[in-house]
């Protein structure tokens, strides 16, 4: 509990993956991918509780072996390729209320595919949402050298501007406004919003994370890059 509020960490780890088979258990260095998120929540000082939501007996067993809390098996219909976050999160909140009598003020989605996010990142988001009274706080990363004027489409083999007109020269990096995207590492939201079907709420605040902690593993090249970043940090 932090400032009288209860925070639930939800590690979402379904069994199937099309890009990397059994992705959440894929080794990164000497540990399965899910271990890094488990380790981060175990080091958090502000999460009230953290649990794993998975449909996979193998993931559940591995997670429990590392000391993670896996209180239920996620229904198969909530573990499909096209299953969005909201029903998975709502299921976890409803299950804990119905079976354990537990209710939480905020819930944080933590995907194992962001292995370089830290306990400090987790706690900083909790502090920020309490200090600002936002409906949500999201992990964000700056898009390097990005400006809408630089985005093109290719018509046949002719380069055309995607937005507006291109002008007579290439856009300079320093002239563009900074742009950001959600890095998928942290989604922290009031449970009232979640139960109303809203992941972000009316006021969503940004928690800016550096690129080296914002890696989101979707393809094998992402895994290789995460290994590089991790090995560089150790030296």
Q: Which CATH architecture has domain 7-142+181-234?
A: Alpha-Beta Complex (3.90)
Report the alpha-carbon distance of residue 68 to residue 56 in Å, rounded: 14
Count CB atoms within 10 A of the CB of residue 202.
9
Q: Name the residue ranges covered by the structural domains of the chain.
A: 7-142+181-234
What is the Cα–Cα distance from 87 to 70, expressed in whole angstroms? 18
φ, ψ of residue 229 to 5 degrees: the values are -65, -40
- Ranges under pLDDT 70 in the chain: 164-176, 233-235
Instruction: Tell me what pLDDT residue 172 has.
Output: 52
Decide: 24 and 124 in contact? Cβ < 8 Å.
no
d(CA 194, CA 135): 10
The rounded distance, in Å, linking the Cα atoms of 91 and 198 is 14
Q: What is the pLDDT of residue 173?
A: 52
E strands present in 84-151? 106-110, 136-143
CB 137 within 8 A of CB 186: yes
Could you give phi then psi for residue 171, rounded to 5 degrees? -65, 140
pLDDT, residue 65, reads: 98
The full length of the chain comes to 235
Direct distance between the N- and C-terminal alpha carbons of the chain, in angstroms, rounded to an integer: 36
Largest CA distance in the chain: 65
Burial of 115 (0-12, 13-18, 19+ CB in 10 A): buried
pLDDT for position 159: 87
Which tokens hold the place of 215? 């890696």
pTM over 0.85: yes
pLDDT at position 176 is 64
Contact 74, 55 (CB under 8 A): yes
Quick check: helix, strand or coil at residue 204?
strand
């Amino acid at each position: 509990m932090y400032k009288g509020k209860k925070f639930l960490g939800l590690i979402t780890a379904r069994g199937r993956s099309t890009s990397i088979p059994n992705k959440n258990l894929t080794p990164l260095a000497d540990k399965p991918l899910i271990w890094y998120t488990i380790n981060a929540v175990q080091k958090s000082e502000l999460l009230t509780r953290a649990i794993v939501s998975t449909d996979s007996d193998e993931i559940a067993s591995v997670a429990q072996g590392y000391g993670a809390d896996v209180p239920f098996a996620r229904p198969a219909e909530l573990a499909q390729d096209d299953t969005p976050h909201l029903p998975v999160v709502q299921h976890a909140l409803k299950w804990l209320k119905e079976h354990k009598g537990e209710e939480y003020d905020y819930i944080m989605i933590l995907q194992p595919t962001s292995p370089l996010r830290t306990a400090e990142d987790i706690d900083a988001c909790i502090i920020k949402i309490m200090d600002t009274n936002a409906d949500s706080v999201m992990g964000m990363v700056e898009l390097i050298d990005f400006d809408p004027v630089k985005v093109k489409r290719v018509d046949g083999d002719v380069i055309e501007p995607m937005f507006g007109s291109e002008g007579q020269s290439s856009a300079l990096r320093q002239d563009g406004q900074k742009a950001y995207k959600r890095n998928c590492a942290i989604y922290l939201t009031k449970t009232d919003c979640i139960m109303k079907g809203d992941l972000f709420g009316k006021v969503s605040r940004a928690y800016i994370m550096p690129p080296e902690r914002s890696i989101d593993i979707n393809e094998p090249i992402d895994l290789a890059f995460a290994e590089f970043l991790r090995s560089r940090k150790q030296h």
